[in-house]
């Protein structure tokens, strides 16, 4: 009978130096003893990626995307070989593979490539030979315009995506994402003292949490897991404790509807004041932002009076300067009165799969924030989420109040049952 296959992913902080790499190797060796076949995806050591980026920008303000991808990919090559060596030192057979060697091909967009295909023929061969296979995350091979092999990277957090894609292609029993936190929480435990770790969460809910600022997992990795029904476990690489399972949650109807809170400080509010209220204005403003690669999120247009209206929206805070540069000439052309911005805002969200069928939750959220003296500046909703923009300084107060109001500290009686589904 073939051994069960497990994919494990270790992030940069888990492999930041020789000591941590040896610790990761011991962890892998223990799992190997249990009897699993293992594919291990690693990120670059510690701050390597940022250091390489700094080196590139010390040389030129605009590094060529192709060269930058080849440069950054070396970080994961290094950590993969070192983890493999550390396993050898423990007497565990192992081999490291680059993304291309692992059969990962991408669509060829430098710096933000998407995985186009995984052909894990070599991984399977190495597993057959009894090797633990260490794969350099964050990268793949693409063909350039004339068909020659080039290195591409998947963008920030891309190693999560590598791990989930390999788990899908190999039909792995589970994909374990080792991080510096224990799992997914009802709220950020650094802010909300009685935040509780969730034993299980559905893909859709996790996706919303990730979208709304929970930085534990890359959004694309969660999407890919959802589409391929990969059971993902988020757990700590520093302690032996059960993590959080991300999986199809069959018991979702029986649960507390609000599963967790998310928040995001990387947000800024832009308001175009007194813009003429005529068709096409929104496109005139937003098309150039999209072209510049700036994501616009919440959009609110006030009721117009006197032929003019105010239009507010949010952009990532790190993109605010770029957004202003794009918008200023357009605002003048449109004849709007002015462009104002506010970078001291934050978003807070309640997330839960049942929210869209339960009208009482929005009212309870708004009421809770009002009772806590927190002013709501903008609101947006999705099927599984209600988000309010508030002043950044009010964020801890808002999270605490919402965590209490939705009783998130209380263990969900359904959770034990859900965890049992997977273990069984």
Residues that bind its own copies (CB under 8 A): 18, 21-22, 52, 55-56, 58-61, 63-64, 66-68, 70-71, 73-74, 77-78, 80-82, 84-86, 88-89, 95-96, 98, 101, 122, 125, 146, 148-149
The answer for residues whose C-beta is within 8 angstroms of residue 250's C-beta and 6 or more apart is 418, 421
CB nearer its own copies, residue 85 or residue 251: 85
CB nearer its own copies, residue 146 or residue 303: 146
Q: What's the min distance (Å) between Cβ of 324 and its own copies?
A: 26
Q: What's the min distance (Å) between Cβ of 3 and its own copies?
A: 22
8 Å CB contact between 303 and 351:
no
CB nearer its own copies, residue 63 or residue 352: 63
Length of the chain: 424
**Residue 291, number of CB atoms within 10 A of its CB:** 9
CB nearer its own copies, residue 64 or residue 383: 64
Taking alpha carbons only, the member of 159, 186, 203 closest to residue 44 is 159
Q: What's the min distance (Å) between Cβ of 19 and its own copies?
A: 9
Cα dihedral sign for 290, 294, 295, 297?
negative
Q: What's the min distance (Å) between Cβ of 77 and its own copies?
A: 5
Q: What's the min distance (Å) between Cβ of 72 and its own copies?
A: 9
Measured between alpha carbons, how far apart are the two ends of the chain, in Å? 18
Pair type for strands 232-236 and 244-246: antiparallel
The answer for residues whose C-beta is within 8 angstroms of residue 236's C-beta and 6 or more apart is 178, 179, 180, 181, 182, 183, 243
CB nearer its own copies, residue 149 or residue 358: 149
Pair type for strands 244-246 and 200-201: parallel
Pair type for strands 385-391 and 378-382: antiparallel
CB nearer its own copies, residue 108 or residue 189: 108
Q: What's the min distance (Å) between Cβ of 239 and its own copies?
A: 22
Q: What's the min distance (Å) between Cβ of 117 and its own copies?
A: 18
Whole-angstrom distance, CA of residue 424 vs CA of residue 421: 5
CB nearer its own copies, residue 109 or residue 397: 109
Angle between helices 395-405 and 360-371 (to 10 degrees): 130
């Amino acid at each position: 009978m073939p051994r069960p296959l497990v994919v494990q992913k270790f992030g940069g902080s888990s492999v930041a130096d020789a000591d941590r790499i040896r610790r990761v190797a011991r962890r892998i060796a223990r799992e190997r003893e249990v009897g699993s076949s293992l594919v291990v995806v690693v990120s670059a050591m510690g701050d390597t990626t940022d250091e390489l980026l700094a080196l590139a920008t010390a040389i030129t303000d605009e590094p060529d995307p192709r060269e930058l991808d080849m440069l950054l990919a070396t970080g994961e090559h290094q950590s993969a070989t070192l983890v493999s060596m550390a396993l050898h030192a423990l007497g565990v057979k192992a081999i490291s593979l680059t993304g291309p060697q692992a059969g990962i091909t991408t669509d060829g967009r430098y710096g933000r490539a998407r995985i186009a295909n995984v052909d894990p023929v070599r991984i399977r061969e190495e597993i057959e030979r009894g090797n633990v296979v260490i794969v350099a995350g964050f990268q793949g091979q693409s063909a350039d315009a004339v068909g020659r092999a080039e290195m591409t990277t998947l963008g920030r957090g891309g190693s999560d995506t590598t791990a989930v894609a390999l788990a899908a292609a190999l039909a792995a029993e589970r994909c374990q994402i080792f991080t510096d936190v224990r799992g997914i929480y009802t709220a950020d435990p650094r802010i909300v003292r009685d935040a509780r770790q969730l034993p299980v969460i559905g893909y859709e809910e996790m996706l919303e949490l990730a979208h709304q600022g929970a930085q534990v997992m890359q959004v694309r990795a969660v999407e890919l897991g959802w589409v391929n029904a990969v059971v993902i476990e988020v757990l700590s690489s520093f302690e032996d404790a059960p993590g959080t399972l991300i999986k199809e949650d069959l018991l979702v109807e029986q649960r507390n509807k609000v599963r967790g809170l998310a928040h995001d400080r990387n947000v800024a509010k832009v308001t175009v004041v007194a813009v003429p209220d005529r068709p096409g204005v929104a496109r005139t403003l937003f098309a150039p932002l999209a072209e510049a690669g700036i994501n616009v999120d919440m959009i609110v247009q006030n009721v117009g009076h006197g032929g003019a209206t105010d239009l507010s929206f949010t952009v990532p805070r790190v993109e605010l300067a770029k957004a202003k540069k794009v918008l200023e000439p357009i605002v003048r052309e449109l004849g709007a009165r002015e462009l104002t911005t506010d970078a001291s805002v934050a978003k807070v969200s309640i997330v839960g799969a049942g929210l869209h069928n339960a009208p009482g939750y929005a009212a309870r959220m708004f009421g809770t924030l009002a009772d806590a003296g927190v002013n709501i500046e903008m609101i947006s909703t999705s099927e599984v989420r209600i988000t309010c923009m508030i002043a950044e300084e009010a964020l801890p107060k808002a999270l605490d109040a919402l965590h209490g109001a939705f009783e998130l500290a209380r263990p969900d009686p359904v959770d034990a049952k859900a965890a049992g589904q997977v273990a069984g």
